Structure 1
Amino acid sequence: MIPNPDFENATSADHRMSLLAKYAGRLGFEVVDIAGFLDSVDEQSKSQIAVLADVQSSATDVMTANGAVRDALTTVTSITDQTLNRVEGSVGFVRESGQKSQHVASWVKDLSERMERVASSLSAVEADNTNIADIARQVNILAINAKIEAARAGDSGRGFGVVAEAINELSRKTARAAAGIEENIATLSEWVGRLREEATGVSTDASHVISSASETDLALTEIAQGVRKTHDATRIMVTEADKVRDAVARFQPAFDQIGKAANATAEGIHVAHERVDKLINTSETIFQTTVALGGASEDLVFINKVQEAASRISALFADGINSGRISRSDLFDQSYVELANTNPQQYMARFTAFTDEVLPAVQEPMLEFNPKVVFCAALDPNGYLPTHNVKFSAPQGHDPAWNAANSRNRRIFSDRVGLKAGRNTEPFLLQVYRRDMGAGKFMMMKDLSAPIFVDGNHWGGLRLGYTF
């Protein structure tokens, strides 16, 4: 059994055992501090490995995307090659067609001008023919008058009458010919007028063709220049994509090596952490053994106190069963019901209401016997802590960080220290751990626990946390 003397009066303890207990405690402190440092390094290495994995994945994605881009650019370059050839061919064809169109347009414009001159000539001919017709009418009148005068002259005017008749006949023929000419000139003038109107319209279109041909030639030239620039740009992009591919290909192996080294380092840290955990267990065992063999320790007053409190809880639990306040099955129940809208998650068990009634009478006074004491709470083998000290049992709010620090009841603490405290069946267990104070700060604390038995059945343990 563990001795139960006050530390100040423990002068009979073997001095060497006391020194061993003292050094075992110091060893535990240092080992736990190292373990905490390894925890931090382990987390950082995991984070770095995750980042490296993301980088490697991103590099692979870059290679894949760059390959796709390069393939697309190669296709675009090929298409622009073909387009450029076609556009340049089209420019030459359109330019040649434009030149021919300009020649045709020029001929049409010249034809329009010639039609104008023909129309003018026809107008002049028509005027001359009108004059001829007028002269013929006048000659006809003169011939008629001459025939009248010849008739009056009798036989002496008969020869003159014949001449007058011949002149009259000639004037009639001349009039008929002028009338025919006039009709033909009118028809021809109508045709020429129509041709002139059509030629004027065609001439306008020809002028537009000449203007459009120049604009089309300019536009196609600009298109060809644009396609040529696009073609040149895609060739440059293909070259740059090749550079990216080569660069990624160069640093990919380096990333792979870094990743392998980081994984090896993380594995080494993990192995070291496991070995340190074993060393923590060894240091705790050394301390417990030296105290059990009579070594004096400054922790004896806490050990005795927590054992007494654990015994009182055992008695309260047994009385609860015997009085019918709680059944044995409910007290040892290990089914936990999640409480809605809690963060961190809180739970209820079938014995929570009972522990809320009986545990404060034991746990609260434990905070007063020594100023080093920070908390005192019972928990079951699964780390479920139903009833905490009042100062750590505030109703949860909206801030999870505040809840984690101030609403620690009805929580499951499945960390190494919590589980060992709840599962320990030795007379006591003294552990050293780093308590997270937030903002990256930690406080080294001692966690002392004693088992709680109910009629010989292990229920859990009573934890007592205090500072160095």
Structure 2
Amino acid sequence: MRLDPVPQDTPQVSERLSHIVRVATELGRRNVEIQGFLQSLDENCTAHSGSLNTLQTRGDRVQSAAQRAIETTTETRALADSALVQMQGSIKRLTETGGLSRDLASWVNQVHADSGDVDAMLVAVGKSNGDIASIASQVNILAMNAKIEAARAGDAGRGFAIVAEAINDLSHKTRSAVEDISATIQSMSQWITHLNDGARTNSIGAQTLLSEVEVSDAELSDIEARMTELREAAHKTEAEVASAQNASAEFVPAAATLSGFMKELGQGVHEAKTRTESLIDQSESILQDVVSLGGSGKDSPMIVMVQDVAGRISEAFGKAVATGRISVSDLFDEAYTPMPGTDPAQMTTRFTKLTDDILPALQEPVLSLDPRIVFCAAVDRNGYLPTHNAKFSQQQSKDPVWNAAHCRNRRIFDDRVGLKAGRNTEPFLLQIYRRDMGGGNYAMMKDLSAPIHVEGRHWGGLRLAYRLNG
């Protein structure tokens, strides 16, 4: 059924209707702009609300982690304090041991030096003992000579003989003592030599020990300094972690407050968007009613055009069913099968091939009838657009943003405008909307649609989109 504009009695009425159309169109445009802004704001609020909830949850985790961290750092600081005290005690004992080692090394060096002196003294004693032995031998010889002379003197030499015998006996004892002393000196000399050899070896070890003690003293001092630094770092870390915990404790309630505010804001924005959509519907209803009464010469030709092409599509579909090219069930197929590897996703149905055969010859010529026209394409009741104009039916690339703008065939446009166009059963439907061109780009458009019927059933609608100003 085609709805022609109602004839008007006077030019004044027509002008007023046209004025109402212009006002309603501008109102609709502004409402759509507001709705688009609120839609973006609603999406941002939803996204930010989710982010804030995540942030709050993570803030709770940070606070818990900070609490565990401060407990750990407090324990670490206590261990560092205890370790430093123990280390200082150990260093003190090691320092004392080093001092004893140093004294022992000095004593060993002194023993080595003294053993040389003792050996020299034993050599001197040995020499003196040799002299005594020589004297004892000479005395013995003299005693023997004296005894001989006393024997020759007879009784006169008896007293002298007794003295000579005593001297001889003394010389023997002296020789025996000298021999004992020589043996002792030799034994002592061997012992001193052994002691000196050991002292020499120990002296070398003592020098090494002294060097190592010096190195150990330096290393112990360094260890003590490092342990002191470690304790200071532990104290500083404990203070910083405590500060972080305090900051996180302040952050969490602030994040919760902000999250609650964002949630309330999102609810308000969503409600405002819903009300704006209602205003859009009302302004579109006003616009449609006024246009149907004959207002605005700009839209009337478009209405006639879309109704005419929609009628021809209905006839072509009906003929295809009648001739057996397609069954009614296939023509009304709603099993949308995704095409692999497409982004955005493209779909096929059992009637897609038929629309590819029939629709281009009916849709393409419309594009050249008015420079304002952007596209002319049929959609089913669910917003599925099987066959688009050639310029919007490019082969998909690897760029989804480019695909969204240039590969719009075989896609489902189930937004508010697309669904209303596909499900409208009135003679025509005139909408104002922001067309999503992909990549965050939108264009303000009028969407004029007329229903397509096949064998008394509503198949969908023909969408004719054109610019508001041209």
- Deviations 1:308-332 (Å, cap 9, x if unpaired)? 1111111111111121212222211
Tell me how far 1:24 sits from its aligned partner.
2.9
1:230 is matched by which residue type in structure 2?
A: L
Tell me if 1:433 matches 2:433: yes
Please give the alpha-carbon distance, in whole angstroms, between the structure 1 residues aligned to 2:22 and 2:239. Answer: 72
Instruction: Map 1:68-467 onto structure 2 (within 5 A).
Output: 68-143=68-143, 153=152, 155=154, 159=158, 167-293=167-293, 295=295, 298-437=298-437, 440-467=440-467
Which is worse superposed, 10-19 or 426-435? 10-19
For 2:368, what is the secondary structure of its paired residue?
coil
- Deviations 1:265-302 (Å, cap 9, x if unpaired)? 11111001011111212222223333445555531211
Which is worse superposed, 283-292 or 154-163? 154-163
- Deviations 1:185-230 (Å, cap 9, x if unpaired)? 2112222222233334444444444454444344323322322222
Which is worse superposed, 104-113 or 277-286? 104-113
Tell me how far 1:111 sits from its aligned partner.
3.8
Please give the alpha-carbon distance, in whole angstroms, between the structure 2 residues aligned to 1:195 and 1:320. Answer: 128
Please give the alpha-carbon distance, in whole angstroms, between the structure 2 residues aligned to 1:51 and 1:340. Answer: 33
Instruction: Output the aligned Cα RMSD.
Output: 3.1
1:226 is matched by which residue type in structure 2?
A: R
- Deviations 1:105-158 (Å, cap 9, x if unpaired)? 44444444443333222221112122222333344455556666777x575897
Contact 1:394 1:406 in 2 (8 A): yes
Tell me how far 1:464 sits from its aligned partner.
0.7
Which is worse superposed, 361-370 or 35-44? 35-44
Which is worse superposed, 357-366 or 231-240? 231-240
The alpha-carbon distance between structure 1 residues 288 and 10, as it changes in their structure 2 partners (threshold 3 A), is: farther
Contact 1:13 1:296 in 2 (8 A): no
Contact 2:378 2:460 in 1 (8 A): yes
The alpha-carbon distance between structure 1 residues 11 and 352, as it changes in their structure 2 partners (threshold 3 A), is: farther
Contact 1:320 1:326 in 2 (8 A): yes
The alpha-carbon distance between structure 1 residues 296 and 218, as it changes in their structure 2 partners (threshold 3 A), is: closer
The alpha-carbon distance between structure 1 residues 439 and 384, as it changes in their structure 2 partners (threshold 3 A), is: closer
**Is there any run of 5+ residues in structure 1 with no aligned partner, and where?**
none
TM-score, normalized by length of structure 1?
A: 0.89
The alpha-carbon distance between structure 1 residues 126 and 214, as it changes in their structure 2 partners (threshold 3 A), is: same
The alpha-carbon distance between structure 1 residues 386 and 12, as it changes in their structure 2 partners (threshold 3 A), is: farther
For 1:433, what is the secondary structure of its paired residue?
strand
For 2:453, what is the secondary structure of its paired residue?
strand
1:277 is matched by which residue type in structure 2?
A: E
Contact 1:417 1:433 in 2 (8 A): yes
Please give the alpha-carbon distance, in whole angstroms, between the structure 2 residues aligned to 1:432 and 1:191. Answer: 123
For 1:325, what is the secondary structure of its paired residue?
coil
Tell me how far 1:239 sits from its aligned partner.
2.1
Partner of 1:44: 44
TM-score, normalized by length of structure 2?
A: 0.88
Contact 1:425 1:451 in 2 (8 A): yes
The alpha-carbon distance between structure 1 residues 284 and 10, as it changes in their structure 2 partners (threshold 3 A), is: farther
Please give the alpha-carbon distance, in whole angstroms, between the structure 2 residues aligned to 1:8 and 1:399. Answer: 53
| Number of aligned positions between the proteins | 467
Contact 2:314 2:452 in 1 (8 A): yes
Which is worse superposed, 113-122 or 133-142? 133-142
Identity rate, percent: 44
